[in-house]
Amino acid sequence: MCQSPVWWPNGDTRSDNHLKRRLSASAGTHSYHTRSTSTSITTTTTTSASKGRSVSAISTTPDIFTHRYGRSLSSITVIQLGSYGGECDYTDKRSLRFSIDNRPTVPATKTYALVKMHTHEDDEHAEQTQLLSEHQEDMNGDDERRSERGNSIDSSSTVSASLLMMDKLNEGHRVRNNGGYTDNEHDFNGDESDDGFSLENGQGGAPLPYKPWPLRRTLMVWGTVALIVAVFVVGIIMSMLSDRHAAAAAKGAVSSGSAFNSSIPNAAGAGNSSSSSGKNSDATLIDITFEQAWRRDFSPRHHSISWIAGPNGEDGLMLVMEQNSVGEYLRVEDVTTRRNGVSSQQTKKTILMKNPSFRYDSNTIQPEKAWPSRDLKKILVMSHYEKNWRHSFTGIYWIFDVEKQEAQPLDPHDPYSRIQLASWSPNSDAIVFTRGNNMFIRKLSEQKVTQLTTDGGKELFYGVPDWVYEEEVFTGNSVTWWSNDGKHIAFLRTNETAVPDYPVQYFLSSHSGKKPLPGQENYPDVLDIKYPKAGAPNPIVDIQFYDVEKDEVFSVDIDGEFPDDDRLIIEVVWASGGQVLVRETNRESDVLKIILVDTNERTGNVVRSEDIQQLDGGWVEPTQYTRYIPADPENGVEADGYIDTVIFENHDHLALFSPINSSEPIMLTKGDWEVVDAPSAVDVKNRLVYFVAARDKPWKRHVYSVNFDGTEIKEITKTAEDGYYAVSFSHGAGYALLDYKGPNVPWQKVISTPSNEHKYEDVIEINHDLVEMVTRYNLPVVTYYEVEIDGFSVPIMEARPANFDPKKKYPVLFHPYAGPNSQSVNQAFSIDFHTYAAATLGYIVVTVDGRGTGFVGRKARCIVRGQLGKWETHDQIAVAKMYAAQPYVDEKRIAIWGWSYGGFMTLKTLEQDAGETFSYGMAVAPVTDFSFYDSIYTERYMHTPQHNPDGYLHTSIRNTTALGQSVRFLIMHGTGDDNVHVQNTLTLLDKLDLDGIDNYDVHIFPDSDHSIFFHNANRMVYGRLNDWLINAFNGEWLQTAHPLPKPSVIRRAVPALP
Give yes or no for a contact between 139 and 102, defined as CB atoms under 8 angstroms apart. Answer: no
What pLDDT, on the 0 to 100 scale, is given for residue 367? 94
484 within 8 A of 574, measured Cβ to Cβ: yes
Say how far residue 892 (Cα) sits from the centre of its chain.
35
Write down the pLDDT at residue 253. Answer: 33
- With a CB cutoff of 8 Å and minimum separation 6, the contacts of 564 are 540, 542
Q: Which of 977, 978, 1007, 1009 is catalytic?
A: 977
What is the topology classification, in CATH, of domain 778-1039? Rossmann fold (3.40.50)
Among 702, 943, 973, 1010, the one annotated catalytic: 1010
Beta strands in 717-854 (DSSP E): 725-729, 735-740, 747-752, 761-765, 777-778, 781-789, 792-800, 810-814, 844-848
pLDDT for residue 561: 92
Q: What whole-number distance in Å separates Cα of residue 545 and Cα of residue 598?
A: 11
Residue 821 Cα to chain centre, angstroms: 18
> What is 337-355 written as a DSSP string?
G-BTTB--TT--EEEEESS
For the chain, residues classed under CATH 3.40.50.1820 are 778-1039
Residue pair 919/813 in contact by the 8 Å Cβ criterion? no
What is the value of pTM for the model shown? 0.75
Q: How far is CA 172 from CA 29, 151, 858, in A?
A: 18, 10, 59
Q: Rounded to whole angstroms, how far apart are CA atoms 1013 and 190?
A: 12
Q: What is the DSSP letter of 538?
A: P
- What does the pLDDT read at residue 220? 53
Q: Whole-angstrom Cα distance, residue 1030 to residue 1035?
A: 9
The Cα 369–Cα 871 span in angstroms is 45
Would residue 977 show up in a list of annotated catalytic residues for this protein? yes
935 noted as active-site residue: no
Interatomic CA distance for residues 677 and 692, integer angstroms: 7
Taking each helix axis from N to C terminus, what angle separates 901-913 and 871-884, rounded to the nearest 10 degrees?
A: 60
Question: What is the pLDDT, as a whole number, of residue 227?
Answer: 60
User: Where does residue 179 rank: exposed (0-12), middle (13-18), buried (19+ CB within 10 A)?
Assistant: buried
Q: CB neighbours (10 Å) of residue 246?
A: 15
- 611-642: burial string, b at 16+ Cβ within 10 Å, e else: ebbeebebbbebbebbbbbebeeeeebeebbb
Contact (Cβ atoms closer than 8 angstroms) between residue 960 and residue 954:
no
Amino acid (one-letter) located at 215: L
What is the tens place of the pLDDT at every residue in 396-438?
A: 999 999 999 999 999 999 999 999 999 999 999 999 999 999 9
pLDDT of amino acid 1037: 84
pLDDT at 324: 74
The strands making up 761-765's β-sheet, listed across from edge to edge, are 725-729, 735-740, 747-752, 761-765
CA distance 195 to 150: 11
Of residues 299, 900, 919, 966, which has the active-site annotation? Answer: 900
Which of 826, 817, 815, 816 lies closest to 855, judged by CA? 826
pLDDT-flagged residues of the chain (< 50): 1-218, 234, 236-262, 267-280, 1044-1050
